């Protein structure tokens, strides 16, 4: 796990590479590296997890004809190494060298052999071609900016900002306020794009011509019936956990107390052969706090458990810092507890295993059952709306009118033809939710140089979940949720634990805003009335503040306060980073 940065073209220089790397050095404090041939610059901040020696530092090369800067983990690297050892003499025990040799032997066709999470830049000097690649589901982030002067890429957007003069993408802003996310490659900053999951980008360094192609396609037909679905799911999960326990640094568990993280904890405790540290977040005074179940599971499994309290004060203290690391407005309150948990856990471990991804793969959310009755993709997309377009028009005034009519149906939120099996609606979950979730996990954990691994997002498990007929996951009438996982949970922890109602990881933001005067005044005075809200229509923010002062706490007030506050913080942070010189931008991470 690391931070990667690169520049190709007119902007390329050792100074530019060093400046960009400093903006992401929090991702990899163990080693730094820079390589350039004058036209291409690769810079790297390393978090050492496999092969801790300097031989595995990056950018990595053997003959300087091919160079790689890589972020992530190839979990099946030992298996791949055994295939490659007949052709190459390995000098390290790292997965980086395995990936490097795999590309040397099989090129892009070798990507399908990878079981892992990854984003990398690979430069072939003989062909003058740069290749950027992102993993199947977007577990690892990768951003780029391309214009007539060349290309810049990085693990985080903030490293790109100081090198460009672009401002906010108004169309993306309207979409963000409406749906809490921006579809496709676009980000909130004009010209800065996110390489989509399962895609590669190729740049001809001589001509500056760029092309983007998909290398991985998720299953779209739900036509599979697995007779032994529970047993086969358990087998795949056991193997996914085994692979994700491979590490040369301490590994721990992110344990919420829910079904998914508890299943991972059970399998890890059976495989690890030693007492592991586990960490959970709790909210004092919240009657829906699940941390008590985390303590119960950890006691049953003999884990060394660390409960962590999260309060309104923590939220206030960490909000701006977390936004800086997120590179985007915080779109879910979960981000800040993950930020704090990673900060605390990093004192003991460098890697955490998490249960994230199970609900998306095995249809675990309440709205998945509602999908079964939705008549069209348009309705499925609308179900994810955060704020009605009418409200967005009020917020932004004339700025919104140009774009909101185009957003009403949001028919393009999922590419590809609809299918009778209902899988297109499930693709909405991956398109609109999973990518946002994974970015949140990566940014909040890597702010503290913490790697989070997600066994449920092993591609073999995801493909199993996406191919299985819906009835096998939620029942014929849609009255169950993630059936195979619930069966495993009951097997591991008994019927009493499995019968409790799903609560979910919930941050009591609305309650704090309504009941905590200090928290509400912080939101109003320090955020809503700050300079970051200047993009909104005249009088809109003042009206929202008036509703908060008058205690008009209806659901729309909470939603609007949340989205405006988070945009305001991000807007302020973005402008500070953009206006900083590249040599100074790294210091802003201490906001």
Domains of the chain, each with CATH number or no CATH: 2-217 (3.60.20.10), 229-367+423-498 (3.40.50.620), 509-578 (no CATH)
Q: How many CA atoms lie within 13 A of 281 on its CB side?
A: 23
Look at residue 260 in the predicted model and tell me its pLDDT.
95
Decide which of 423 and 531 is more confident.
531
Look at residue 308 in the predicted model and tell me its pLDDT.
96
For residue 128, the Cα-to-chain-centroid distance in whole angstroms is: 31
Segment 545-552 shows an average pLDDT of 92
Tell me the percentage of the chain whose pLDDT exceeds 90: 65
What span, in angstroms and rounded, lies between the C-alpha atoms of 140 and 435?
10
What span, in angstroms and rounded, lies between the C-alpha atoms of 256 and 270?
19
Decide which of 414 and 186 is more confident.
186
What span, in angstroms and rounded, lies between the C-alpha atoms of 208 and 172?
26
Segment 227-255 shows an average pLDDT of 95
Neighbours of 576 (CB within 10 A): 14
What span, in angstroms and rounded, lies between the C-alpha atoms of 385 and 176?
10
- Among 218-222, 256-260, 486-490, 546-550, whose mean pLDDT is lowest? 218-222
DSSP string, 491-538: HHH-HHHHTSPP------HHHHHHH-HHHHHIIIIIIITSGGGTTSPT
Q: How confident is the model over 51-91, as pLDDT tens digits?
A: 999 999 999 998 879 999 999 999 999 999 999 999 999 99
Q: Print burial letters for 472-502: b (CB count within 10 Å at least 16), e (below 16).
A: bbbeeebeebbbbbbbbbbebbeeebeeeee
Over 70: is that where the pLDDT of 347 sits?
yes
Look at residue 470 in the predicted model and tell me its pLDDT.
83
User: What crossing angle do the helices spanning 259-272 and 483-493 adopt, rounded to 10°?
Assistant: 50
Over 90: is that where the pLDDT of 405 sits?
no
Neighbouring-strand partners of residue 272:
none
Give the tokens for residue 203.
Answer: 């740049």
Query: In which band, very low, low, confident or very high, does the pLDDT at 285 lie, cut at 50, 70 and 90?
Result: confident
The dihedrals phi and psi of 456, each to the nearest 5 degrees, come to -65, -15
Look at residue 480 in the predicted model and tell me its pLDDT.
75
The dihedrals phi and psi of 476, each to the nearest 5 degrees, come to -60, -35
Query: In which band, very low, low, confident or very high, does the pLDDT at 218 lie, cut at 50, 70 and 90?
Result: confident
Of 226, 519, 482, nearest to 355 by C-alpha is 482
Return contacts of 272-277, CB within 8 angstroms, 24+ apart.
272/245, 275/302, 275/303, 275/304, 276/251, 276/252, 276/303, 276/304, 277/250, 277/252, 277/253, 277/303, 277/304, 277/305, 277/306, 277/345, 277/348, 277/349
Look at residue 403 in the predicted model and tell me its pLDDT.
58
Give the alpha-carbon dihedral of 336, 342, 345, 350, to 10 degrees: 180
What span, in angstroms and rounded, lies between the C-alpha atoms of 258 and 504?
7
Rounded to the nearest integer, the mean pLDDT of the chain is 87
Over 70: is that where the pLDDT of 420 sits?
no
What span, in angstroms and rounded, lies between the C-alpha atoms of 70 and 73?
9
Of 351, 170, 167, 359, nearest to 263 by C-alpha is 359
What span, in angstroms and rounded, lies between the C-alpha atoms of 154 and 21?
9
From the number of C-beta atoms within 10 Å of its C-beta (0-12, 13-18, 19+), residue 134 rates as: buried
Neighbouring-strand partners of residue 381:
none
Give the tokens for residue 202.
Answer: 């190729």
Query: In which band, very low, low, confident or very high, does the pLDDT at 346 lie, cut at 50, 70 and 90?
Result: very high
Look at residue 495 in the predicted model and tell me its pLDDT.
77
Decide which of 590 and 520 is more confident.
520
Segment 517-545 shows an average pLDDT of 92
Decide which of 591 and 104 is more confident.
104
The dihedrals phi and psi of 563, each to the nearest 5 degrees, come to -70, -40
What span, in angstroms and rounded, lies between the C-alpha atoms of 445 and 451?
7
Look at residue 47 in the predicted model and tell me its pLDDT.
97
Decide which of 371 and 477 is more confident.
477
Of 96-105, 430-439, 550-559, give the range with the top mean pLDDT: 96-105
Residue appearing with tokens 């290398």: 215
Query: In which band, very low, low, confident or very high, does the pLDDT at 419 lie, cut at 50, 70 and 90?
Result: very low
Over 50: is that where the pLDDT of 414 sits?
no
Give the alpha-carbon dihedral of 581, 586, 590, 591, to 10 degrees: 40
């Amino acid at each position: 796990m690391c931070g990667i940065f690169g520049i190709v073209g007119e902007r390329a220089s050792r100074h530019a590479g060093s400046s960009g790397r400093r903006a992401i050095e929090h991702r990899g404090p163990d080693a730094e590296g820079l390589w350039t041939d004058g036209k291409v610059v690769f810079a790297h901040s390393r978090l050492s997890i496999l092969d801790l020696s300097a031989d595995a530092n990056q950018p990595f090369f053997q003959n300087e004809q091919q160079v790689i800067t890589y972020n992530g983990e190839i979990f099946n690297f030992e298996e791949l190494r055994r295939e490659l050892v007949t052709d190459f003499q390995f000098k390290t025990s790292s997965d980086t060298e395995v990936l490097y040799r795999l590309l040397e032997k099989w090129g892009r066709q070798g990507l399908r052999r990878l079981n892992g999470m990854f984003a990398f830049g690979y430069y072939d000097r003989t062909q003058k071609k740069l290749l950027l690649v992102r993993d199947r589901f977007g577990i690892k982030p990768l951003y780029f900016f391309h214009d007539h002067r060349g290309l810049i890429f990085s693990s985080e957007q903030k490293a790109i900002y100081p090198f460009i003069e672009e401002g906010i993408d108004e169309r993306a802003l309207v979409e963000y306020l409406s749906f809490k996310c921006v579809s496709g490659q676009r980000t909130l900053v004009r010209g800065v794009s996110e390489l989509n999951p399962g895609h590669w980008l190729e740049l001809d360094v001589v001509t500056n011509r760029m092309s983007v192609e998909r290398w991985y396609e998720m299953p779209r037909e739900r036509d599979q019936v697995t007779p032994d679905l529970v047993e086969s799911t358990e087998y795949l999960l056991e193997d996914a956990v085994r692979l994700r326990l491979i590490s040369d640094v301490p590994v721990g568990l992110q344990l919420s107390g829910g079904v998914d993280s508890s299943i991972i904890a059970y399998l890890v405790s059976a495989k690890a052969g030693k007492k592991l540290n586990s960490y959970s977040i709790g909210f004092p005074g919240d009657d829906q706090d699940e941390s008590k179940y985390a303590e119960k599971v950890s006691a049953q499994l003999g884990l060394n458990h660390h409960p962590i309290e999260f309060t309104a004060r923590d939220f206030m203290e960490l909000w701006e810092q977390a936004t800086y690391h997120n590179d985007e407005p915080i779109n879910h309150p979960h981000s800040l507890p993950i930020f704090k948990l990673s900060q605390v856990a990093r004192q003991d471990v460098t890697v955490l295993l998490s249960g994230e991804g199970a609900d998306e793969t095995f249809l675990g959310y309440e709205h998945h059952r509602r999908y079964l009755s939705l008549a069209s993709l348009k309705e499925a997309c609308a179900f994810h709306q955060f704020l009605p377009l009418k409200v967005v028009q009020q917020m932004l005034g004339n700025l919104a009118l140009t774009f909101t009519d185009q957003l009403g149906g949001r028919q393009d939120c999922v590419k590809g033809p609809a299918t009778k099996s209902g899988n297109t609606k499930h693709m909405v979950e991956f398109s609109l939710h999973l990518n946002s979730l994974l970015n949140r996990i990566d940014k909040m954990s890597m702010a503290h140089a913490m790697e989070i691994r997600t066994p449920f997002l092993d591609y073999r498990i995801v493909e199993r979940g996406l191919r299985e007929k819906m009835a096998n996951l939620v029942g014929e009438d849609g009255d169950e949720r993630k059936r195979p996982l619930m069966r495993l949970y009951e097997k591991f922890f008994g019927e009493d634990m499995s019968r409790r109602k799903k609560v979910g990881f919930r941050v009591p933001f609305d309650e704090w805003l309504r009941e905590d005067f200090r928290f509400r005044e912080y939101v109003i005075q320090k955020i809503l009335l700050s300079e970051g809200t200047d993009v909104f229509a005249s009088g809109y923010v003042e009206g929202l503040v008036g509703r908060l002062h008058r205690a008009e706490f209806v659901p729309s007030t909470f939603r609007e306060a949340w989205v405006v506050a988070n945009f305001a913080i991000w807007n302020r942070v973005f402008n500070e980073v953009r206006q900083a010189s590249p040599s100074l931008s790294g210091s802003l991470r201490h906001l």
